[in-house]
Amino acid sequence: MRTELLTRKKIAHTAMAMAMVGGVLLWTGPSRAMDAADAPETVEIDSLAKLYTGVHFDHAMHTEIASCGQCHHHTTGDKVTDPNCVRCHAKSGEADTVACRDCHSRERFSKEDLSRLDNPQLYHIDKPGLKGAYHLNCVECHQKMGGPTGCQDCHGMTAAGEQMFHTGGHAPAATPTGGHSGH
């Protein structure tokens, strides 16, 4: 009887603990700030992968060489210091989300994306799309810091990519003269 009660208690405790952990994991409340401890070790950036494979991003390594705000600009980390941003966002708190895709459009230059500019009040008329946001953020810093900047240094080319770039299995046969035909 006693052992049974204990076991029951244990089960209840475990269930409660699991519920709490689950709650913490699922918690995406509006005011929660992102702590460095919450940051993932790695991030698979592959939602746009088509011509190139996704990027296996070593997030932990990058947190050691850059502050959160350097990549996540205003969404987390230190307050914004860019004079253009400070004009309006000096008192803005952290954003609810840190994912690039939540602000930067996957469907850049689609009719819906371009129709945002119909609003004459809109200040952010020049917000890059998701692909632009990734590359502008990463490549610019890699150029400054001496990180890898070649396309295939970060992501390998897919079969579709090789077809479009006429490379790999789709490479043109070597011609002795080289150069292009005609003029």
Q: Could you say whether residue 89 binds other proteins (CB under 8 A)? A: no
User: d(Cα 108, Cα 155) in Å, to the nearest integer?
Assistant: 21
Query: What phi, psi does 70 have (nearest 5°)?
Result: -65, -35
Site string for other proteins, 8-47 (x = CB under 8 A): ----------------------------------------
Q: How many residues bind other proteins (CB under 8 A)?
A: 38
Q: Could you say whether residue 165 binds other proteins (CB under 8 A)? A: yes
Q: Could you say whether residue 131 binds other proteins (CB under 8 A)? A: yes
CB-neighbour burial class of residue 130 (10 A; exposed 0-12, middle 13-18, buried 19+) = buried
Q: Could you say whether residue 86 binds other proteins (CB under 8 A)? A: no
Q: Which two tokens stand for residue 30?
A: 């509006």
**SS3 at position 58:** strand
Q: CA 99, 129, 143: angle at the middle one, nearest 5?
A: 85
User: Burial code of 24-51, b = ≥16 C-beta within 10 A, e = fewer?
Assistant: eeeeeeeeeebeeeebeeebebeeeeeb
Q: Which stretch binds other proteins (CB under 8 A): 5-13, 33-41, 68-76, 127-135?
A: 127-135
Residue among 14 and 149 whose Cβ is closer to other proteins: 149
Q: Could you say whether residue 129 binds other proteins (CB under 8 A)? A: yes
Rule CB under 8 A: which residues touch other proteins?
51, 84, 108-111, 114, 117, 125-126, 128-129, 131-132, 134-136, 139, 143, 149, 151-152, 157, 163-167, 170-172, 175, 178-183
